[in-house]
Structure 1
Amino acid sequence: MHKLIVLYPEPVDRSAFVDYYEKTHLPLAQRLPGLRSWRYSVEVSPDPDGNPPAYFAVFEAEFDDAEAFRSAMGSSEGRAVASDVPNYASGGAVILDYALAGGGAA
């Protein structure tokens, strides 16, 4: 399994971010070929001391493997998703992708 994480720093306008993200960007992302699952949150908790979180929002997606992820991002749908990010992420985005290893049920 291969995972994509996108971390979004605080945007200039939270409401505009959420509106565009939910109505425009997520429908684009859902079309990525080979996408197995996805989820997101715009309710990132403060740190244990009550300080604001480093990120405003987080997106997670899973693909079968690195090849499937790279193929998805290289597709026309993947290029559309990537080129759409500046339309809503005024704070930028931190993108991580990695193969999952280990783990299990708690």
Structure 2
Amino acid sequence: MHKLLVLYPWPADPEHFENHYRTVHLPLASKLPGVLGARFSLSVNAGPEKSPYFAVFEADFSDAQSLESAMASEWGQKVEADVPNYATGGAVVLNYAVGPLASTADSP
């Protein structure tokens, strides 16, 4: 499995971010081809300190090629083009392969 992770630093206008994100950006992202599952949060908590991130988005793909194809698609291009419309703090985009955690039964 391959994961796309987007971390959003605090925007200049959190209310505008949330409204645009929910009504425009997430509907665009829902049309990305090949997504196995996706989730987001606008409640990023860093314990007693203020989190450096306002929001987080993650999506699962079967492999890196599926993610690359999704982002190169018409919908992927629309998703990328929309980011400056709400994310005034920018976005940190990561992608990586994920594997299962070894079970305790496998440990010596």
The bucket for the TM-score relative to the shorter chain is over 0.9
- Which residue of the partner structure matches residue 13 of structure 1? 13
**Matching residue of 1:74:** 72
User: Counterparts of 1:13 and 1:20 in 2: how far apart (Å)?
Assistant: 11
Q: Per-residue CA shift, 1:57-95, capped at 9, x if unaligned?
A: 000000110010000000011000001000000000000
Q: Once the two structures are superposed, what CA deviation does each residue of 1:25-72 show, in whole Å capped at 9, x if it has no partner?
A: 00000000001100000101133xx11001010000001100100000
C-alpha separation in 2, matches of 1:54 and 1:19: 20
Residue 88 of structure 1 pairs with residue 89 of structure 2: no
What is the CA RMSD across the aligned residues, in angstroms?
1.4
Percent identical residues: 50
Calculate the TM-score normalised by the size of structure 2.
Answer: 0.91
Runs of 4+ in 1 over 2 A off after TM superposition: none
Matched positions, count? 104
Mark the runs of 5 or more structure 2 residues left unpaired by the alignment: none
Paired residues for 1:1-106 under 5 Å = 1-47=1-47, 50-103=48-101
CA 1:86/1:105 → structure 2, altered by over 3 Å: closer, same or farther? farther
CA distance in 2, matches of 1:55, 1:105: 31
Cα separation, 1, equivalents of 2:10 and 2:31? 26
**TM-superposition CA deviations, 1:1-38 (whole Å, max 9, x none):** 11000000000011100000000000000000001100
Which has the larger displacement, 93-102 or 21-30?
93-102
Which one-letter code corresponds to 1:17 in the other structure?
F
Structure 1 segments unaligned to the other structure (5+ residues): none
Q: CA deviation at 1:103?
A: 1.6
Q: Which letter does structure 2 place at the counterpart of 1:75?
A: S
Matched letter for residue 34 of structure 2: G
